[in-house]
Amino acid sequence: MLKKALHFGKRARYQSVKVGLHSATWANTHKVKLITTSVVVSFAVVIAMMASMIINSYAYVVKIDGQTVGYVKNEAEYATLLNEIEENLISEGVDAKEILDQVKVETGTSDKFYEDVDKIEAEDLTDTLVDKSNTFANAYEISVGEDNLGIVASATDAQEIEKKLVEKFAAPEGEELVSTDLAEAVAVGKVKTELSKLSNTDEIVDKIVAGRNEVQIHTVADDDTFWDIALANGLSEEEILNTNPQIDPLTLKPGDEVKLNKANPYMHYTVVTKATANEPVAFNTVEEESADLYVGESQVKQEGANGEVSITREFTRVNGEITNVTEVSSTVVTAPTDKVILKGTKAKPAPVSVAKSSSNSSSRVAAPAYYPPTPAGDGTKSSVINIAAAQLGKPYSFGATGPNAFDCSGFVAYVYNNAGYGFGRGSAQSMYNRTARVGAGDLQPGDLVFFSGTYNAGEPVTHVGIYVGNGTMLHASPRGIAYDTITSGYHASHLYGYGRV
């Protein structure tokens, strides 16, 4: 540009002499103006070029082990990038200096304009550095006994695991927490590990809850049924069949071996809770002697009315499953009113015979009086619960009706008959047929819970238990008289209905 401007000035001066149209004074005066103008124009062009270079400045290249991984604007921007990388690595428990000591990072001005290149982000550069280094994080290993359950990035994460276990097995809504206990000692040790081996807290909590799978062999006993084996081991029939596809449940015989794939928890977290609920108390029926009534006659003197009692119970759960229920206290809210029946004591008159009349050969004999039966006594639901709980742990035996062993219907009959209900004996199906239907929302302690399909009985209802509150029943299981939940797992999947005696 500058050369063109000067050349233009020379040509103008030559032309002014050649044509001779102006005096020397005029030419000299305008020669200065032309030179001055050309210099100003050339300077402006140079400034424009410099401005263009500033606007389109060269990018700053970043190389790792000699390979270009990206560009930044300048050295100051690279310094900012390093700060972000360090924060990213610290959050993963890694020292940035440890990585940079292992990996060769080069920087410098490139021959490319900044606006024409792909810019590298801190997150991308962090990943690249980690990939190219043998990076180890300062971390914390969680173990129980000899079992290593995982590695987390920080001591805070280790503490978070116990917090999440507490939340997972927290007291159900409406129950007050009494105590908690973790049976096994949990060790937290500081280790160095590869970043890829770090676990998050949820993964470790899920592992603890699921436990380790262990295959056990069960040898079928004389009285075993497929349902007995499943229930005694906390498994469904489907789970056993998945492990033993060759087995036919209907042809099991003593001596057969069944593989049981059981989960053995890494930890046993015990939670004790307390809950208070108001429950009805059935009225009693009492008899009084009456000389105004003949022997065998009866009359209701006073109708009965149910009362109400407030009962506080403690529930013990291990890893969320109820293992024990204990009645702590009970307070009468409203006392029941006895039903009073008068029982006659007056001697019955002898039948009167009418002698023959001389005018009538027929005779009349007085008919005996009709004497209605005495009503059976009524029991209380609280006595049902107490009598049922007193059988806890007694063994199961098919067809047994107590007092030393029971099957499911024998247990229910024993409890209700001893509670004063006169319920009789029968199968689970017959008990279902003899009780009033109750909805899940109206279920009360002492009601019966019925199940279907627990074994091939040839009728819909195959098992029965006594509801004790809080989604729990007492029943005769293959492991004996025990508490079990009816809201999840095996029993929930076989639930048939509810009944009230």
Per-residue DSSP letters for 6-70? HHHHHHHHHHHHHH--S-HHHHHHHHHHHHHHHHHHHHHHHHHHHHHHHHTPEEEEEEETTEEEE
From first CA to last CA, the distance across the chain in angstroms is: 112
Q: In sequence order, what E strands does 405-471 have?
A: 436-437, 448-452, 461-469
d(CA 334, CA 332): 6
Q: Per residue, what are the HEC states of 354-370?
A: CCCECCECCCCECCCCC
Q: Is 463 a catalytic residue?
A: yes
Contacts of residue 80, Cβ cutoff 8 Å, sequence gap at least 6: none
**Of 30, 408, 491, 494, which residue is the catalytic one?**
408
**Of 218, 268, 463, 491, which residue is the catalytic one?**
463
**∠ at Cα 462 (461, 465), nearest 5°?**
95
**∠ at Cα 344 (342, 349), nearest 5°?**
155
Q: Is 408 a catalytic residue?
A: yes
Q: Are the C-beta atoms of 137 and 195 separated by less than 8 Å?
A: yes
DSSP β-bridge partners for residue 280: 308
Contacts of residue 57, Cβ cutoff 8 Å, sequence gap at least 6: 73, 74, 113, 114
**Of 22, 268, 475, 494, which residue is the catalytic one?**
475
Tokens of 86: 């360090």
Alpha-carbon distances, residue 131 vs 124, 441, 464 (angstroms): 11, 58, 61
Q: Is 23 exposed, middle or buried (0-12, 13-18, 19+ CB in 10 A)?
A: exposed
List residues with catalytic annotation.
408, 463, 475
